[in-house]
Amino acid sequence: MALRVGLLGFGTVGSSFAEVLATSEAEVRITRIFNRDVERKKSHAKAKFVPAETIWTSDATEVVTADDVDVVVEVIGGLDPIEGWLQAALQAGKHVVTANKQLIAYRGSELIALAAEKGVQLRYNAAVAGGVPVIPGIVSGLSGDRITRISGILNGTCNFILSAMESGAEYADVLKKAQSLGYAEANPSADVDGFDARAKLCVLARLALRAELNPDEVPAQTISSVSAIDFAYAKELGCTVRQISRAERDGDGAVRARVGPMLVPKEMPIAWSHDTQNMVVTSGLFGGDVVFSGHGAGGHPTAVAVMSDVFTLTSGSGQVRFVAAKIEVNGDVRAPHYLRFIVKDKPGIVASIAGVLAEHDINIDALLQHRGHSPENLPFVVTTEPCLRSQLESAVAAMTRLDFMLEPPLVMQMLTSDDHPTD
């Protein structure tokens, strides 16, 4: 008997799922589709891939509790009301496949436990990195290792923006282009401010580090403060800038985690990711570094991951469950840092900044200043030797009050090829 799918959402991913399914030879068919404004969705170009007998509805409960649905596929996103709908589906004894990273990050443990109680499966390989099989890779391929750290580019929109800025574009212009291409929402905060990436990081931490993290405790820094001048200075330092998500177990049992723009040495694989590509690097105690890379944004890559989860259900494969402990998040990473200042030039600026850093036990590693800028709006950069982020933030707060400072300094962590932020 064909596996019967109830589809929640017929947007970019949902319509692509219908297209992918139509080209497959799997014994799977869509019996019901939920979406608001059903008549408009029926006229969607990809509605031609939906079987004629499929029932369309604007009432989600008609999908999640229907007798002719074996698996509910959710590709809408968000917590409310999605959590209630998927709880109802699991309670009704239906498998669930979701691409919802926020739901899995915040409510995943409870939903996985409910699925186990009801004898069904909750699968979410599409929740992180779209079509890149990082979750099954960790669960099936690396479960024998002890993974100590995850580093990744987990948001394709930010990678699109920053890799374009690396070629000389300005942030505002690239953001508009990303919005016009459908990579970024009208309100891009979830992407550019790091909330999307940190949810994905928490999903991976549960699987790779066996650590249950509260996403709200993971520091997230916006990329919107990065400008073209930062790429010029980064290049001089042998680096580029990417939005990096990192989580690592430390010796005290806590997990150090942070999401934000960071300087990445050009020789590191994570610096090679461009456009909408995602990349995840797992660092194992025995297996070393393993790299997962591919396109993480867009309807087709995500639909492939969703379809792969559905295929797994048709094969009768069981679900691997890991025990994850609730772990305190510590964002106070020790690392070298990049400080970019915009000042009104006057004598004694460098001495004042060096004095503040010295007061906080922070040593300067290098000072960079390019010629040709107006003394009324002068950018320059200081890099530091490794220090705790908390030390640096205290120093920056003091610097912001200096009379020559035109805007708050930009602070970015600098990765190193042998980076060990908990040393």
**CB under 8 Å to 388, separation ≥6 — which residues?**
332, 333, 334
- Token pair 């990436």 is found at 197
Q: Are 338 and 412 in contact (CB under 8 A)?
A: yes
User: CA quadruple 114, 120, 125, 131: dihedral positive or negative?
Assistant: negative
Separation of alpha carbons 153 and 25, rounded Å = 33
d(CA 265, CA 44): 45
Catalytic annotation present for 177: no
Q: What is the distance between the alpha carbons of residues 31 and 4, in angstroms, rounded to a whole number?
A: 6
Among 384, 328, 345, smallest CA distance to 361 is for: 384
Measured CA angle at 131 (ends 126, 133), to 5 deg? 80
**Spatial CB neighbours of 40, under 8 Å, sequence gap ≥ 6:** none
Between the alpha carbon of residue 284 and those of residues 149, 150, 289, the distances in Å are: 7, 9, 6
Maximum pairwise Cα distance, the chain: 80
Structure tokens at 281: 């690097």
SS3 content of the chain, % helix, strand, coil (to 5): 40, 25, 35
What distance in Å separates the CA atoms of residue 312 and residue 121, rounded to the nearest whole number?
10
Check whether the bond before 81 is cis (ω within 30° of 0).
yes
Residue from 41, 94, 101, 200 carrying the catalytic annotation: 200
Instruction: Please give the Cα distance from 64 to 188 (Å, whole number).
Output: 30
Q: Sign of torsion, CA 160 164 170 176? A: negative
Measure the CA–CA gap between 130 and 17, rounded to whole angstroms.
13
Q: Are strands 71-74 and 387-388 parallel, antiparallel or unpaired?
A: unpaired
How many CB atoms within 10 Å of residue 158?
A: 30
Q: From the CB of residue 70, how many other CB atoms can be counted at a distance below 10 Å?
A: 21
Contact 331, 389 (CB under 8 A): yes
Interacting residues of 247 by C-beta distance below 8 A, sequence separation 6+: 149, 150, 201, 204, 205, 209, 211, 213, 218, 255, 256, 257
Q: Which residues are catalytic?
A: 200
